[in-house]
Amino acid sequence: MFAAEFLEPAEDVGGPAQPLLEARRLTKHFIRGSRLFAGKRAVVRAVDDVSFSIVKGEVLSVVGESGCGKSTLARLLIGLIEPNRGEIIFDGELVREALTLRVLRRRVQMVFQDSYASLNPRITIEETIAFGPKVNGAGNATACKIARDLLAKVGLEPNDFAGRYPHELSGGQRQRVNIARALALAPRLVILDEAVSALDKSVEAQVLNLLADLREQLGLTYLFISHDLDVVSFFSDRVMVMYLGEIVEIGTAYALFQETRHPYTQALLAAMPSSDPERRTAKPPITGDPPSPIAPPSGCRFHPRCAYAEAVCSVKAPQLGPIAAGHAVACHMAQAGSGHSRAGQPLQRQSLNA
Amino acid sequence: MLDAAGAKDAVTVLVDVRDLYVRFTGERTVYALNGVNLSVAQGEVLGLIGESGSGKSVTLRALMRLLPEHKSQLKGSIAVAGRNVLALGPKALRELRGPVVSMVFQEPMLALDPVYTIGQQIAETVVAHEGISHWAARKRAVEMLEHVRIPSARQRLDAYPHELSGGMRQRAMIALALCCRPKVLLADEPTTALDATVQIQILVLLRELQRELGMAVIFVTHNIAAAAEICDRVSVMYAGRIVETGEVSQIVKTPLHPYTGGLLACSVHKGHRKGRLQSIPGSPPRLDQIIQGCAFAPRCSHAKPACRSGEIPMVQLSDWQAARCILVSERTLPRTH
Amino acid sequence: MSAVSTEFGIAAPAIRAGYWSGVRRRLARDRVSIVCAAILLAIVLAAIFAPYLGLADPYLGSMIRRLKPIGTPGYPLGTDELGRDMLSRLIYGGRLSLLIGLTPVALAFVIGGMLGILAGYVGGLVNQCIMRTADIFYAFPSVLLAIAISGALGAGIVNSLLSLTIVFIPPILRIAESVTTSVRTLDFVDAARSSGASAFTIIRVHILGNVLGPIFVYATSLISVCMILGAGLSFLGLGTKPPEPEWGLMLNTLRTAIYINPGVAALPGAMIFIVSIAFNLLSDGLRSALDVRG
């Protein structure tokens, strides 16, 4: 009886039209170094004024390189960190006001990247999965039953795997345990933070198939954080590209990959190694490393590395504005009258092949 | 190098590995390599593709005798630039590492010494191997940093590894590996830990450096696309054996071995949206005992009883492609797309 | 890290082993640790069951039989400066010496461990307060600190136990805080926090198991130091008072006998040495056994 209660996700409050999660102007800055003896403190602007929403039942992917803030964003959405500014609204209820953190934890869960640090090496995986329900009031027996049911659901035979320790599992198996742990509280939104990035290709395919099945079976919504654009284009409904703490482009997967409007997205697509040995990449799309979010450039944060940058780009920061239904870009080139010579024109296809 | 007709010139073979077996002892016995044969000619880039547990990193480390001495047993023959690596004494081994063969690792933060500047590390290596003055070594260090396209190389000489970004650190490590002009470069997943835009820069850099210096390169990766960018030939490893080897375009377009075919089929292709991904059922075998027959047979949809016993030989299908599969001579596997 | 072990193709090992049973197995195979553990066990048991071992009275002296050498019939290890049997005094002395060596470390382990884990988990201002207070004590050399506190509290066993406990809390606290901080940043702790667990539950289930090992090893390495400090306090007259047998005190009272019968004068020192080494080697063995991943 308790078990059934636990494995039921919370009810839909607002109906299908209401976004499952809405982030409004989320900002998180970290201060590097000690607060006590502060001279010139370095401020890491991890997430800066980010607003977006997640539709019920969709897969929204977040793409970006180091320093773009996607991991910080994930931790903000799940309530592990408190934002400096901004709000999170889950199915119409304001988090930390109408919706307490304790309740939010039952709605949003996270699957971490596979590593030895994602599972407690000193307890069995059954105990790991049962921890969430136990903490939320389930009895020992109920929690163990939930754990075993979930192990079966993710494709690990409970009698064989329940008593194992993390070091006795392969990478793919550990990730399945991570997924089972995330599902133990029957969430509605699952955040997958580079959940398949560390896996071998054949294992990645298995886990992606499992995630697709679970989404259908349990009616889940995913926020899928990844750096692998091939997987993102396969798996997502919509895609959001972040750079240095800001959203630079967001739209359907088709729009982002076929009608790219932001130079950074274009560079990311071009940076994927060509799997055709006869058409190799002759020149990298951009040079240099992703900059650190401590002292972001003035104006548009991408302008130092942008092939199309002009004077207006270093002065004025572009706002995220829609250019088509469901497709928004933060770039002066996309907005007519912004002062950029190419304003209003679509991007040229860059040819970088030998 | 290959000419237009596909035939090889008579060039020097710089790396020649025959029947290499590596076993790890200790708390657990692991048969990491089970009969590896490979050869790399001067100026050629060989890719070693495989997943975790395939033995690709072990192969590289065996080439430089970097495996832990007490826990590993090596059998077979390894010849690098004519030298029999397994028979070298400590002094000869030191002379091999650096000027003859050198390695680039996956995690530059772990491979670079955090308490010395990168200029010091490069200069120290050059002085140790070539005996030139410290001032001349510093000059060489600046040259190397410029060679790997680090901007403001002279200032960066005095930077510590943690002061550099990920891409810069990797370039510094490449500079360190190349400073004594080795003939053979071993690259162990050098781009896996890097961001996408940096990864492609390093791949292009490695390709250009390899052409300039005419080195033989062995490039280990699990990413077939990265291998396609940089390699001339590719060997696919599974459970400590090489299961297929050939020119990279052949392997990518018409893989012979079922494992290679499975690997290519389960990577997400451009334009593939939704639906299910093909995957290889099961998981790689445990390596704590010697496997009879084909290591891939339990997971192979084409497996026959003959696959599970005896030694499966490498079948040479043509000048440029060979696979360790008894079904190869009967048919080739079209790439499922 | 994961690249190293998954390279060995782990799929389903035959022996199911938790971490602690693996530790026990490795310890059982370590001969040095076994020998040290046996020696310590023998000394501890002898000390506990001293009255039943048929020894001479440790307090009964004889002015005639002073400073007899080792091997005198009836006095296997000789007699001290007041004619008391050395063997008996050494074994009875073990009671107090081991008590003074082990109790402060045990108490400091509990108190310092708790404070350190708390400071490490909570972070922020609480961490700063606890750590900086500990730093103040840590800044003093342990010998001087022990003497100062003992001197202020007065001589006697209880006071010296108290002062030694205070001396050993800061180093254990430091280690505890440092280990806890490194465990706290791992993903599985974040996962536990995101399931809504209270801090206490997270510490109990997830932190303790990963942190007690290193702290315990460090604490056992402090036992020998504590014994020597305790002996030092007794030597200076700040700990045990005569005629109680205690190795440090015996070193003091036998000081003047070093020219007459150096063998006997060195015996209490030899006991301190043996027990210290045994604890150190055991602590080393424990650290090796705990160190292996999985």
Residue B1 binned pLDDT confidence (cut-offs 50, 70, 90): very low
Q: What is the ipTM of this complex?
A: 0.85
Nearest to A165 among C186, C201, C294 (CB): C294
C-alpha span between C75 and C250 (Å, rounded):
17
* Beta-carbon separation of B52 and C11 below 8 A: no
CA-based nearest distance C31→chain B, Å = 17
State whether A231 and A322 are in the same domain. Answer: no
Confidence (pLDDT) at C3: 31
**Domain-located, residue A104:** yes
State residue B222's pLDDT score: 87
Task: Pick A181's closest partner by Cβ from C10, C19, C191.
Answer: C191
Residue-level pLDDT at C17: 62
Question: What is the mean predicted confidence (pLDDT) over C183-208?
Answer: 92
pLDDT of chain A, 354 residues: tens digit per residue? 345 556 677 777 778 888 999 999 999 998 876 555 556 678 888 999 999 999 999 999 999 988 899 999 999 999 999 999 999 999 988 998 888 888 888 899 999 987 778 999 889 999 999 999 999 888 899 999 999 999 999 999 999 999 998 988 888 899 999 999 999 999 999 999 999 888 888 888 889 999 999 999 999 999 999 988 889 988 999 999 999 999 999 999 999 998 999 999 999 998 888 888 888 888 888 887 888 888 888 889 999 888 888 888 889 889 998 988 889 999 998 888 778 888 877 877 655 443
| pLDDT tens figures, C156-165 | 888 889 999 9
Cβ contacts from B onto C, under 8 A: 35
CB distance A211 to B274 below 8 Å: no
DSSP letter string over A37-87?
T-SSPEEEEEEEEEEEEE-TT-EEEEE--TTSSHHHHHHHHTTSS--SEEE
**How far B122 CA sits from the closest chain C CA (Å)?**
26
Could you tell me the CATH number of the domain that includes residue A77?
3.40.50.300
Helix axes C86-122, C208-235, angle to 10 degrees: 140
Residues A63, A68, A71, A73: is their CA dihedral positive or negative?
A: negative
Q: Do B229 and A274 touch (CB under 8 A)?
A: yes
Same domain, A296 and A328: yes
Tokens for C89, please give them: 């005094």
pLDDT digits (tens, 9 = 90+) for B301-333: 888 888 888 888 888 888 778 888 888 765 554
Q: Please judge whether B204 and A292 are an interchain contact, meaning their C-beta atoms are less than 8 angstroms apart.
A: no
Question: Do residues A132 and A181 make contact, with C-beta atoms less than 8 angstroms apart?
Answer: yes
Enter the DSSP assignment of A242: E
The CATH homologous superfamily for domain B13-100+182-267+276-323 is P-loop containing nucleotide triphosphate hydrolases (3.40.50.300)
Residue A26 pLDDT: 95
- Name which of B54, B152, B195, B248 to mutate to probe chain A: the one with the most chain A Cβ atoms within 10 A of its Cβ: B195
In total, chain A counts a number of residues equal to: 354
Domain count, chain A: 2
SS3 assignment, position A111: strand
Amino acid at A5: E
Domain locations along chain B = 13-100+182-267+276-323
Give the per-residue pLDDT at A39. Answer: 60
Q: Is the Cβ of B120 closer than 8 Å to some Cβ of chain C? A: no
Measured between alpha carbons, how far is B296 from B307 in angstroms, rounded to an integer?
9
- Using the predicted structure, report yes or no on whether residue C210 has a pLDDT greater than 80: yes
- Each residue of B220-239: pLDDT tens digit? 998 888 999 999 999 999 99
**pLDDT at res. A119:** 93
Based on the fold, state whether residues A187 and A80 are members of the same structural domain: yes
Same domain, A13 and A104: yes
Q: In Å, how far is B132's CA from the nearest CA of chain C?
A: 37
What's the pLDDT tens digit per position in B148-192?
989 888 888 999 998 888 889 999 999 999 998 999 999 999 988
> Looking at the structure, do residues A214 and A299 belong to the same domain, yes or no?
no
Chain B nearest-CA residue for C29: B27
Choose among B28, B52, B283: nearest Cβ to C7. Answer: B52
The CATH code of domain C42-58+70-291 reads: 1.10.3720.10
The dihedral built from the CA positions of residue C263, C269, C270 and C271, taken in this order, carries a sign that is positive
Whether residue B34 lies within 8 A of chain C, CB to CB, comes out as no
Distance CA A85, CA A190 (A): 23
Tell me whether residues B283 and C11 touch, CB distance under 8 A. Answer: yes
Q: How confident is the model at residue B269 (pLDDT cuts 50, 70, 90)?
A: low
Whole-prediction pTM: 0.86
- For chain C, the domains span 42-58+70-291
Q: Give the SS3 label for residue B93.
A: helix
The sign one gets for the Cα dihedral C264, C266, C269, C271 is: negative
Asked if residue C151 has pLDDT above 50, the reply is yes
**Is the domain of A16 the same as that of A73?**
yes
The two three-digit tokens of residue C131, written as one number: 């750590």
pLDDT at residue number B7: 44
Whether A294 has its CB under 8 Å from any CB of chain B: the answer is no
**Tens of pLDDT along B100-155?**
999 999 888 888 899 999 999 999 999 998 889 989 999 999 999 999 989 888 88
C-alpha to C-alpha distances, C181 to B221, C95, C174, nearest whole angstrom: 35, 38, 11
Dihedral in degrees, nearest 10, Cα atoms B286, B266, A182, A192: 130
pLDDT band for position C51 (cuts 50, 70, 90): confident
Residues A284, B197: C-beta atoms closer than 8 Å? yes
Buried-exposed string C93-130: b where 16+ CB fall within 10 A, e elsewhere: bbbbbbbbbbbbbebbbebbbebbbbbbbeeeeebeeb
- Do A25 and A148 belong to one domain? yes
Any idea of the CA torsion for B84, B54, B34, C22, to the nearest 10 degrees? 100
In angstroms, the CA C167 to CA C138 distance is 8
**Chain B hits for A272, Cβ within 8 Å:** 196, 200, 225
Q: Which one is predicted more confidently, C67 or C118? A: C118
Chain B residues within 8 angstroms (CB to CB) of chain A: 51-52, 165-168, 195-201, 203-204, 207, 222-226, 228-229, 231, 248-249, 252, 262-263, 266-274, 276-280, 283-284
Rounding to the nearest 10 degrees, give the CA dihedral for residues A21, A23, A29, A30: 0
Q: Which two tokens stand for residue B326?
A: 């008894």
**What's the pLDDT score for residue A89?**
93
CA atoms within 13 Å, Cβ hemisphere of A200: 29
The predicted pLDDT at position C75 comes to 83
Q: Which position has the higher pLDDT, C4 or A185? A: A185
Tell me the residue range of the domain where A161 lies.
2-29+40-117+124-236
pLDDT of residue C5: 31
A249 and A330 in contact (C-beta within 8 Å)? Answer: yes
Please tell me whether residues A172 and A309 are part of one structural domain: no
Query: Beta partners for B185?
Result: B102, B217
Q: Give the DSSP letter of residue A305.
A: G
Q: Residue A120: which residues within 8 A CB-CB, separation 6 or more? A: A128, A166, C188, C192, C205, C206, C209, C210
Does a structural domain hold residue A340? no
The partner residue sitting opposite A121, judged by closest CB among C192, C196, C294, is C294
DSSP per residue over C120-153, as a string?
HHH-HHHHHHHHHHHHHHHTS-HHHHHHHHHHHH
Measured in residues, chain C has a length of 294
Does residue C267 register a pLDDT over 70? Answer: yes
Nearest CA in chain B to A305: B197
Residue A300 has what DSSP assignment? S
Name the strands in the sheet holding B72-80, side by side, starting at the edge strand that comes first in the sequence. Answer: B30-41, B13-24, B72-80, B83-84
C5 chain-A contacts, CB cut-off 8 A: 167
B198 neighbourhood in chain A, CB within 8 Å: 65, 289-290
3-state helix, strand, coil in chain C (%, to 5): 75, 0, 25
Q: Identify residues of C whose CB sits under 8 angstroms from chain B CBs.
A: 3, 6-13, 292
Task: Give the residue, C76 or B9, on which the prediction is more confident.
Answer: C76
Q: What is the pLDDT of residue B33?
A: 93
Rounded distance between C-alpha atoms, residue B214 and residue B208, angstroms: 10
Q: What is the mean pLDDT of residues C177-184?
A: 94
Q: Check the CA dihedral A302-A308-A314-A317 and report its sign.
A: negative
Which tokens hold the place of A64?
A: 């970006």
**Whether the predicted pLDDT of C294 surpasses 60:** no
pLDDT for res A6 = 65
Of B185 and B271, more confident: B185
